[in-house]
Amino acid sequence: MDYDILIVGSGPAGQHAAWQAARMGKKAAIIERKPSIGGAGLQTGTIPSKALREAAYLASRTGTQGMREASRTARYGVMAEAVRRKDMVITQQESVIVKRLLKSGVTLIPGEASLVDAHTLEIIDSKGVSKKLSAEIILLATGSRPRRPSHIPFDKKTVLDSTSILNLKKLPGSLLVVGGGVIACEFVSIFAALGVEVTVVDSHEQLLAYLSEDVVGVLAESFENMGVEFHMQERVAAVSIEEGRTLTLLESGKRLYSEAVLYALGREPNSQSLNTPMAGIELDQGWITVNDDFQTSVPNIYAVGDLIGWPALASTGMEQGRAAVLHAFAGKTHAMPEHLPMAIYAIPEISWVGKTEKEAKKEKINYVVGRGHFKESARGQIIGDINGLVKLIVDATSHKLIGVHIVGEHASELIHTGQMLMHFGGTVHDLVGNVFNYPTLAECYKLAALDCMEALNKSALP
Ligand SMILES: Cc1cc2nc3c(=O)[nH]c(=O)nc-3n(C[C@H](O)[C@H](O)[C@H](O)COP(=O)(O)OP(=O)(O)OC[C@H]3O[C@@H](n4cnc5c(N)ncnc54)[C@H](O)[C@@H]3O)c2cc1C
Ligand SMILES: NC(=O)c1ccc[n+]([C@@H]2O[C@H](COP(=O)([O-])OP(=O)(O)OC[C@H]3O[C@@H](n4cnc5c(N)ncnc54)[C@H](O)[C@@H]3O)[C@@H](O)[C@H]2O)c1
């Protein structure tokens, strides 16, 4: 065999698999078909969108109306600066990742890989030169791409997906966003904060339909304050490009014109190029099926990251890659954490871990809810976030924390306090008795816990 492990795809999942294999002294290589490593995590998804979000967020903090007050020229300047900063972050991160991989002994092989059999890959480079490499273990981490239905005329300039919108050279005057999910909310935030007139069309009653109304309501209000227009419970029938502008026709008959359209309705797996039938790998609608140890139906072939579907995050892909390699070479069954944190880097951020109220109700759990509002904390007042909220869901019988939902500044960071408490089976009493730094937003955990105690005392009354 040429290698102990061959990893297809250099996104977060592939990188962390390779790094773990190298730390275990294994001969590992990553095969990547794009000229740059990093996948959607670094090149077209997580990091660029977060870098743009940060620039837009800072711009939105200047004056009460943010960039809406600024001239178009000033806004173009902000966009150019945001793109420059995004590209700089990507370059720096790429250098960190490449150095880390090379230093630990991982080989980087350019080219597109496909399966020849359970232990062999064919790799074709950009010049069309083909070679075959074999390994004891093959790990597939080829990720996903935006879903692009054939009836939508994507052109990378006016009708965009989450990849092409990152390469816009010029800020559009208006943007229509199709979808109310994670990608939609993050890009609505970025463009609305930069002063673009944003319109949202979504088939659900509310944005982020799986989350509670009280949490999403804070985000929706922020969007409304930034001038975003909503067409909820509406479906897109067609999108066309007419004389340099777009026309979005809704099933209800409404006609909406905008300079650009972002279509953000889900992602599709990158499994076609892998030639999975050659090794007999099972798929479910293109997504690769794996067991709890990330083995495919062919035991020496593992699959991780977006390629296996939900939760399809950079954060979870990294840990799946590490866990798969541990299982392959050490036989350890590494259970993924039960409580996965989720974050939406909108303006404001939303983050949560554990159950929603809807899920708790569905599972017939007797629970109470407590809220700690940022406006009640000195830090919330100091930083000017008076709409933020920490919401706790607590099992009324065991008093254990079963869900934490945060909306507001630093929600994606604050969530880890709740996540760790849930991991160790902590109760609401641990939060009530804890000492938090003062003044901090984290104190809202204590405020929310005290609110829960009131609800628990009430629920204990005969
Ligand atoms: C706009 C956006 C924002 C996001 N924000 C976040 C966030 O804030 N937090 C978060 O945790 N997640 C976020 N995500 C999700 C995150 O980017 C993905 O979950 C993550 O990148 C998936 O990692 P992966 O390693 O599975 O695949 P990818 O990152 O998609 O990498 C797969 C790599 O495989 C390569 N490849 C494919 N086929 C072949 C082949 N046959 N041969 C060789 N190479 C191949 C591809 O070129 C690619 O480089 C975001 C996604 C998007 C689109
Ligand atoms: N902060 C983050 O963690 C982050 C940010 C951006 C993207 N992501 C990743 O990217 C993935 C994709 O993001 P997204 O916003 O496109 O997905 P999403 O699942 O959040 O939202 C997609 C929306 O499109 C609708 N939809 C999906 N498939 C459809 C179909 N076939 N027809 C009509 N409507 C359909 C869904 O009902 C939903 O409202 C996320 O699931 C996540 O894994 C994560």
Predicted pLDDT of residue 14 = 98
Binding site membership of 269 for ligand 1 (Cβ less than 6 Å): no
Return the ligand 1 atom nearest residue 312 CA.
Answer: 19
C-alpha distances in Å from residue 124, one per residue of 102, 113, 276, 404: 22, 7, 16, 47
Pair of tokens at residue 274: 């892998």
Residue 456 to residue 352: CA distance in whole angstroms: 22
Distance CA 58, CA 67 (A): 10
Amino acid at 8: V
User: Which residues, judged by CB distance below 6 Å to any ligand atom, belong to the binding site of ligand 2?
Assistant: 179-184, 186, 264-267, 312-313, 343-345
Peptide bond into 348 cis (omega under 30): yes
Q: How far is the CA of 305 from the centre of ligand 1 (A)?
A: 8
Does 159-265 match 3-146+268-330 at the fold level? yes
Superfamily the domain 3-146+268-330 falls into: FAD/NAD(P)-binding domain (3.50.50.60)
CA of 183 to the centre of ligand 2 (A): 6
Q: Candidates 16, 140, 142, 307: which one to mutate for ligand 1, based on the most atoms within 8 Å of Cβ?
A: 142
pLDDT score recorded for residue 64: 44
0.90 surpassed by complex ipTM: yes
Distances (CA, A) of 410 to 208, 348, 390, 401: 19, 9, 11, 20
Q: Which atom of ligand 1 is nearest to 316's Cα?
A: 11
Ligand that lies nearest to the alpha carbon of residue 350, given by its number in the listed order: 2
Residue 313 Cβ < 6 Å to ligand 1: yes
Query: CB under 8 Å to 413, separation ≥6 — which residues?
Result: none
How is domain 348-460 classified at the CATH fold level?
Enolase-like; domain 1 (3.30.390)
Domain 159-265, second-level architecture? 3-Layer(bba) Sandwich (3.50)
The encoded tokens of residue 431 equal 């939060």
20-30 CB burial, b ≥16 within 10 A, e <16: bbbeeebbbbb
| DSSP, res 289 | P
**H runs (alpha helix) in 226-331:** 314-330
Q: Of all residues in the chain, what percent are helix, strand and coil, respectively (each to 5)?
A: 40, 25, 35
Question: What was the pLDDT predicted at 169?
Answer: 81
pLDDT at position 77 is: 77
All structural domains of the chain with their residue ranges: 3-146+268-330, 159-265, 348-460
Ligand 2 atom at shortest distance from the alpha carbon of 345? 1
Q: DSSP letter at 295? A: B
Ligand 1 in reach of 271 Cβ (< 6 A): no
The predicted pLDDT at position 62 comes to 67
Q: Which residues of the chain have pLDDT under 70?
A: 62-72, 334, 460-462
Q: Is the peptide bond before 146 cis (omega within 30 degrees of 0)?
A: no
Which residue out of 144, 177, 178, 182 has the highest number of ligand 2 atoms within 8 Å of its CB and is therefore the one to mutate? 182
Residues 6+ apart with CB under 8 A from 215: 350, 352, 389, 391, 405, 406, 407
Distance of CA 50 to the CA centre of its chain: 10
Q: Residue 46 Cα, ligand 1 centroid: separation in angstroms?
A: 8
Ligand 2: which atom is nearest the Cα of residue 146?
16
Of 335, 339, 336, nearest to 425 (Cα)?
339
